[in-house]
Amino acid sequence: MDFLKLTVRFFHHQFLKLSWLAVLLLLFGHFVLSWSLMWLAGETALLSPAQWLYFYVTTSTTVGYGDLSPGSELGRVLASLFILPGGVMVLAAVFGKLSSFFITVWRRGMQGSGDFSALENHVVIFGWHRHRTEKMVDLIFGDTRRDNRKVLLCISEEIDNPFPDKVLFVRGENLNDPALIQRTGVERAGRVIVFRDSDDQTLATCLTIVTKTKAHIVAWFENDQMVNLLRSHCPQIECHSNISMELLVRSAQDPGSSRIQQQLLSTLVGPTQYSVRVPENFPGTTFGRLLEFFKTSHEAIALGVADSATGNDLRLNPASNDNVEAGQVIYYMSAQRIHRDEIRWDKL
């Protein structure tokens, strides 16, 4: 028995080195030759396609239910010396190559060597910060009513996928490498977040990808000068800078302000700020009517209106008689996201 196990392991290891075509041809050859030998032995009860497939699989996998077996001595000898050991080795090679294939795919996903260039409408995050990136991912998935976009993390650090149950993963030495960027599928992405180790890296990545995608790009900078520089070249990118000083002063002047800001931005606790674009066929209304409708129909508070997706022209708490028109973006606070098709625009 030990000799048989060692023999199987040896051939299993050797068969793993063969191509899929070679292994499948070997399996087919053993299947046909075994049938031919049973035919020569006169085992007619085993030779119909369904019966033979059943007998071959149960014999080669050593299941051996016993309901089908050779009736002649020659048939039993052939089954014992050729069909059983040969089938065990060949099927072991097939299952071994299948296991190796799935393990390779899994390891490629964990190590960031996969290719996701065929993805569409997903979220791509460029950059890695141990705690901040984790919080970022939690906030994305905290919005349970968001568009069902896959999230892909692209980093240069030599680590495995830190969130294997949540995000897809791509890793490379240089995040500005065109081949790496192509593997992220950024060309067809819906949203892109750039938050690198330094402002220079963030700027370089933004300039690299801006011409490769129509996705809405959001970038984080520590220095306001870098924000102004990028906006001057790429006004379509929404830039953010460190606002901790503003929160510090606001909390000093109006105690508790930081808690309001935190809740407005977090999808994990309480009402949160969201946005929705007005349909192109909307005839128009006033902000006062919008404010009233959102509160009575959705328990939401309209905060402001902008003409562009970047929000650079945001009108926060505009006058009640200000117009709200088709194509604009409405920012509101609500317990959960309100999808555009859930709003009765005709009632406005």
If one counts every other C-beta atom within 10 angstroms of the C-beta of residue 194, the result is 27
C-alpha distance from residue 47 to each of 31, 56, 64, 66, 85 (Å): 12, 10, 17, 16, 20
Ramachandran category for residue 64: left, alpha or beta (phi over 0 → left; psi -120 to 50 → alpha): left
Phi and psi torsions of 333, nearest 5°: -115, 130
The whole-angstrom distance between residue 138's C-alpha and the CA centroid of its chain comes to: 14
Same domain assignment for residues 317 and 340: yes
Pair of tokens at residue 230: 């990028």
Q: What is the pLDDT of residue 9?
A: 60
- Number of separate domains in the chain: 3
pLDDT above 60: residue 311: yes
Phi and psi torsions of 23, nearest 5°: -65, -45
Same domain assignment for residues 9 and 88: yes
Helix (H) or strand (E) holding 23: helix 20-40
Average pLDDT value for residue range 165-175:
93
Helix (H) or strand (E) holding 107: helix 84-111
Average pLDDT value for residue range 334-347:
94
The whole-angstrom distance between residue 267's C-alpha and the CA centroid of its chain comes to: 20
C-beta of residue 107 within 8 angstroms of C-beta of residue 164: no
Q: What is the pLDDT of residue 90?
A: 86
pLDDT band at 298 (very low <50, low <70, confident <90, very high): very high
pLDDT above 60: residue 220: yes
Pair of tokens at residue 128: 């890695």
Same domain assignment for residues 128 and 64: no
C-beta of residue 325 within 8 angstroms of C-beta of residue 282: yes
Burial environment of residue 271 by CB neighbours within 10 A (0 to 12, 13 to 18, 19 or more): middle
Q: Which of 82-86, 159-163, 214-218 has the lowest mean pLDDT?
A: 82-86
Widest pairwise Cα distance in the chain: 99
pLDDT above 70: residue 305: yes
C-beta of residue 75 within 8 angstroms of C-beta of residue 133: no
Q: Is residue 312 part of a domain?
A: yes
Using one digit for the tens of pLDDT, what is the confidence trace for 254-292? 888 878 888 888 888 889 999 999 999 999 999 999 999
Q: Which among 111, 133, 153 is the end of a domain?
A: 111
C-beta of residue 324 within 8 angstroms of C-beta of residue 278: yes
Structure pTM? 0.70
First-to-last C-alpha distance (Å) of the chain = 81
Distance (Å, whole) CA 241 – CA 227:
7
Q: Is residue 249 part of a domain?
A: no
C-beta of residue 285 within 8 angstroms of C-beta of residue 253: no
Helix (H) or strand (E) holding 331: strand 329-334
Q: What's the CATH number where 331 sits? A: 3.30.70.1450
Give every CB contact of residue 20 below 8 A, 6+ residues apart in sequence: 97
Q: What's the CATH number where 49 sits? A: 1.10.287.70
C-beta of residue 158 within 8 angstroms of C-beta of residue 128: no
If one counts every other C-beta atom within 10 angstroms of the C-beta of residue 283, the result is 10
Same domain assignment for residues 97 and 131: no
pLDDT above 60: residue 327: yes
Using one digit for the tens of pLDDT, what is the confidence trace for 30-50? 999 989 998 988 888 888 999
Distance (Å, whole) CA 82 – CA 102:
30
Q: What is the pLDDT of residue 331?
A: 96
Q: What is the pLDDT of residue 104?
A: 66
Q: Is residue 248 part of a domain?
A: no
Give every CB contact of residue 174 below 8 A, 6+ residues apart in sequence: 156, 180
Q: What is the pLDDT of residue 15?
A: 54
> Is residue 78 helix, strand or coil?
helix
Same domain assignment for residues 176 and 202: yes
Average pLDDT value for residue range 74-98:
85
pLDDT above 90: residue 246: no
Average pLDDT of the chain is: 88
Q: What is the pLDDT of residue 96?
A: 79
If one counts every other C-beta atom within 10 angstroms of the C-beta of residue 32, the result is 10
Q: Is residue 255 part of a domain?
A: no
Domain of 130 in residue numbering reads as 123-242
pLDDT band at 13 (very low <50, low <70, confident <90, very high): low
